Amino acid sequence: MSIVTPLNALLGIRVPVVQGGMQWVGVPQLVAAVSNAGGLGVLTALTQPSPDALRTAIRETRKLTDKPFGVNITLLPSINPPDYEGYARAAVEEGVKVFETAGNNPGPLIKFFKSKGCIVIHKCTAIRHAKSAEKLGVDVLSIDGFECAGHPGEDDIGGLVLMARAAKELKIPFIASGGIADSRGIAAALALGAIGVNMGTRFMCTVESPIHQNIKDKIVASTERDTVHIFRTLRNTARVFKNKVSMEVVAIEAKGNAKFDDIKDLVSGARGRLVYEKGDPDAGIWSAGITIGLINDIPTCDELLKRFEREVAEIIQGLSKVAVVPKAKL
């Protein structure tokens, strides 16, 4: 039994599940596995050191799957920003048709992608931002709740409320992002008006995920209480795994008047990459959503998506047992 929503036809996928763009994680082996399993795998552009390296990653992914996949480009606050335009051009020239965008001032990127006939999914953490993205012509919005890994924005609004508002106020379709890692979460998102879901942390903990087995085991052993927010005082909040390094960052920020220079060595991307490569969960900062409390195994992507299809159908069918009883006449 399949889960069919408008997202299936739009993206050419069997299961309305998108693998979110994740730094150091969204690489060809995982992307192809998700796409082969029926979802939409997404390469993370900035994991690659240059636009030419992204071209190579796209070609490697094509060798592993003949199914659709996308590319994520996240616009990050930076003194020396990456060559976003170069990454975008390289992906389009390599024939990529689906893009996930996120971050501030996405207008020029969105305009470029739409001029090339591409489909754009834009991630937002607030309805006001979603409405702005609507005006820019994106095809689908990814509504990202406070539960998510990475950057949840500064409003601290959970997905339950964000999705309910999105269903009422947005004119274009949306998918649910943040806080979803199991079949009940998917069914709930569909009930709230989403046409699909975006998952990051759940796909980190799959057989094909490129991260070290120790980190996958750590995710399985953890609960929803094992994440923490950093950069709160810098107004650039990020949800990461609660470890020695992240708690040191929190302690520095708690003293007041912290500057990025005070913590930059602790939060460097190089240290975070070592977590995934060496398997030491305390080597640096690494992203994790509170969905780690819902993850109890390490399946293949194919096993995971087939499980979602079966269980979501069972949950939706089970709702038919909820009777709507007319009020008794007085």
Average pLDDT, the chain: 96
Do 39 and 188 reside in the same domain of the chain?
A: yes
Tens digit of each residue's pLDDT (9 = 90 or more) over 268-326: 999 999 999 999 999 999 999 999 999 999 999 999 999 999 999 999 999 888 877 77
Whether 285 is covered by a domain: the verdict is no
Q: Assign 3-class secondary structure to 56-108.
A: HHHHHHHHHCCCCEEEEEEECCCCCCCCHHHHHHHHHHCCCCEEEEEECCCHH
Whether 254 is covered by a domain: the verdict is yes
Tens digit of each residue's pLDDT (9 = 90 or more) over 115-160: 999 999 999 999 999 999 999 999 999 999 999 999 999 999 999 9
Q: How many helices (H) and strands (E) are present in the chain, helices listed first? A: 14, 10
What local confidence, expressed as pLDDT, does residue 90 receive? 98
Examine the pLDDT at 105 and tell me if it is beyond 60. Answer: yes
What local confidence, expressed as pLDDT, does residue 21 receive? 94
DSSP secondary-structure letter at 23?
A: T
What local confidence, expressed as pLDDT, does residue 79 receive? 74
Q: What total of structural domains would you count in the chain? A: 2
Q: CA–CA separation, 160 vs 210, rounded Å?
A: 31
Q: CA–CA separation, 117 vs 105, rounded Å?
A: 20
Do 74 and 162 reside in the same domain of the chain?
A: yes
Do 45 and 137 reside in the same domain of the chain?
A: yes
Tens digit of each residue's pLDDT (9 = 90 or more) over 239-279: 999 999 999 999 999 999 999 999 999 999 999 999 999 99
**Percent with pLDDT over 90 in the chain:** 93
End-to-end CA distance of the chain: 44
Do 116 and 240 reside in the same domain of the chain?
A: no
Do 137 and 242 reside in the same domain of the chain?
A: no
Domain of 232, in residue numbers = 227-278
Do 171 and 232 reside in the same domain of the chain?
A: no
Do 11 and 154 reside in the same domain of the chain?
A: yes
Whether 328 is covered by a domain: the verdict is no
Tens digit of each residue's pLDDT (9 = 90 or more) over 32-80: 999 999 999 999 999 999 999 999 999 999 999 999 999 999 998 777 8
Distance between alpha carbon 26 and the CA centroid of its chain, in Å?
10
Whether 47 is covered by a domain: the verdict is yes
Whether 191 is covered by a domain: the verdict is yes
Whether 289 is covered by a domain: the verdict is no
Whether 155 is covered by a domain: the verdict is yes
The residue among 154, 106, 162 whose CA lies nearest residue 134 is: 106
Count of other CB atoms within 10 angstroms of residue 206? 24
Do 145 and 273 reside in the same domain of the chain?
A: no
Do 240 and 206 reside in the same domain of the chain?
A: no
Examine the pLDDT at 330 and tell me if it is beyond 60. Answer: no
Whether 286 is covered by a domain: the verdict is no
Do 132 and 243 reside in the same domain of the chain?
A: no
**Percent with pLDDT over 70 in the chain:** 99
What local confidence, expressed as pLDDT, does residue 325 receive? 74
Do 111 and 144 reside in the same domain of the chain?
A: yes
Say which CATH number the domain at 68 has.
Answer: 3.20.20.70
Do 143 and 240 reside in the same domain of the chain?
A: no
What local confidence, expressed as pLDDT, does residue 329 receive? 60
